[in-house]
Amino acid sequence: MPDVAEKYGYPHCTGHRSSLAGGLYNGCKRESAIKFHFSTSVASIESYEPKVVFTAKPRNGDAYKVEADLLLAADGIKSVTRTEMLAKLGTESEEEDTGQAAYRIMLNRCDMENDPELLELIDCNTVVRWIGARRHIIAYPVSDKTIYNLSTAQPDDNFAAATNATYTTKGAKAAMLKVFDDFCPLVQRMLDLVPDGEVCEWKLRTHKPLPTWTLGCVALLGDACHPTLPHLSQGAAMAIEDGAVLAECMSRVPAGADPAAIGKALKVYELLRRDHTYALVDLAAFSGRTLHLGEGKAKEERDRHFADHRNKGSVPDKWASPDVQKMIYSNDCVQQATENFDKLYAGLS
Ligand SMILES: Cc1cc2nc3c(=O)[nH]c(=O)nc-3n(C[C@H](O)[C@H](O)[C@H](O)COP(=O)(O)OP(=O)(O)OC[C@H]3O[C@@H](n4cnc5c(N)ncnc54)[C@H](O)[C@@H]3O)c2cc1C
């Protein structure tokens, strides 16, 4: 995406999720007010206001109660906080089965070096998507081109009978190779490099839009409230934006404010984020349906659309589509928060 820097001021980058998590962690370590409690989960929430009270459970220790002014729950797609919050409101968590699963693969540079075509792939600054009926693969170099990252999407045959709690499974290499056996030889050679016994398949689940992201002084963010299919590459990006908007909203609440003021500021955060994130979740699902078309008129039309609109207007792969890129990369969520906070806050009873 060579024109992204020119249009939006920053280049498009790919990265290893551990680099991102490490960067966030190191940033937090510089803040003396932040204290980490590793291997400790929120087990249940006893009170949402005026004080938040929840039970924390260390992996190898006894549960204990925590009292707080505010709880921001970024506890992912399996969010306990979401389940507790919805139960308190008398509704249930409604997960959506996408019918899709993903293999996540990382190839080491040293394993690709002896193959000139694979070396060229890891050395290029390009994200490549291979598309086939009901399946695709997206791939790009990360970690200074020492790792080639592949993420696939395919029908979730292996999880079809799984319980809702099952998200990952050790897969068989032979089964993975079979899923992509009609893809080009380059893809076959890459998949063949995956060590046997190291194939991990992820179930791709989403969630129906929630009636609320907040209750009292508790708010959800990230996958806890808007889990998405990965086809727009925006799940983590949206979670980070949520954090930025929450910071902006909470900075407007004066020290010592009452719980009602905290709850209202959290509601403003939800109002600022809800429509944009759910629109991207829908677009990611739509893009998946278009990418995965099988033979037929709709696929012919899609392929013509790809050929006619190369790099301009709208292309069927919404991640690469200039109109959707504009919607994503020109969206200044912090500016929206600063401009609209007062009006939205005043409008809440
Ligand atoms: C195949 C695939 C490819 C993807 N590619 C991209 C991409 O290219 N770009 C992108 O932006 N996004 C991508 N995503 C999406 C991205 O991974 C998620 O959207 C993102 O990780 C969500 O961040 P989160 O912090 O909300 O949740 P998570 O990353 O799931 O983090 C939740 C955390 O909460 C912890 N936790 C869970 N329960 C509790 C509890 N009860 N108490 C305390 N802690 C708890 C977990 O241990 C975990 O550390 C992809 C996802 C998949 C599956």
Query: Does ligand 1 have an atom closer than 6 angstroms to the CB of 84?
Result: no
pLDDT at 160: 59
Q: What is the atom index within ligand 1 of the atom nearest the CA of 234?
A: 11
Domain ranges of the chain: 97-207, 232-349
State how far the Cα of 275 lies from the Cα of 255, in Å rounded to an integer. 29
**Token pair recorded at residue 34:** 């932040």
Cα 237 to its chain centre, rounded Å, is: 7
Q: Are strands 214-215 and 128-132 parallel, antiparallel or unpaired?
A: unpaired
- Give the pLDDT of residue 169: 75
Question: What pLDDT score does 162 carry?
Answer: 59
Beta carbons of 54 and 65 less than 8 angstroms apart? yes
Q: Is 104 in the pocket of ligand 1 (CB under 6 A)?
A: yes
For 345, what's the count of Cα atoms within 13 Å in the CB-facing half-sphere?
19
Q: What is the CATH number of domain 97-207?
A: 3.30.9.30
pLDDT reported for residue 163:
57
User: DSSP string of 77-145?
Assistant: TT-HHHHHHHHHTT----EEEEEEEEEEEEEEHHHHTTSHHHHHHHHSS--EEEEETTEEEEEEEETTT
d(CA 73, CA 220): 5
Contacts of 70 (CB under 8 A, 6+ apart): 52, 217, 218, 219, 250, 262, 266
Contact 150, 204 (CB under 8 A): no
d(CA 330, CA 197): 42
* Alpha-carbon span 70 to 216, nearest angstrom: 9
Check residue 97 and give its pLDDT: 84
Other beta carbons within 10 Å of 277? 25
299 lines ligand 1 (CB under 6 A): no
Pocket test for ligand 1, best of 75, 156, 202, 242 (most atoms within 8 A of CB): 75
**What is the block-wise mean pLDDT of the chain (349 residues), using blocks of 10 residues?**
88 95 97 96 98 97 97 96 97 87 95 97 95 96 97 85 65 91 96 90 92 98 97 97 98 92 98 98 96 95 88 86 94 98 95
Nearest atom in ligand 1 to the alpha carbon of residue 153 is 1
What does each C-alpha distance from 349 to 154, 341, 345 come to in angstroms?
Answer: 46, 14, 9
For residue 159, what are the contacts with CB-CB under 8 A and spacing of at least 6?
101, 166, 169, 201, 203
Give the H/E segment covering residue 220.
strand 218-220
The CA distance from 347 to 349, in Å, is 6
Q: Give yes or no for residue 230 CB within 6 A of ligand 1.
A: yes
**3 state DSSP class of 262:** helix
Nearest Cα residue to atom 49 of ligand 1: 75
Q: Is 216 in the pocket of ligand 1 (CB under 6 A)?
A: no
Centre of ligand 1 from the C-alpha of residue 21, in Å: 10
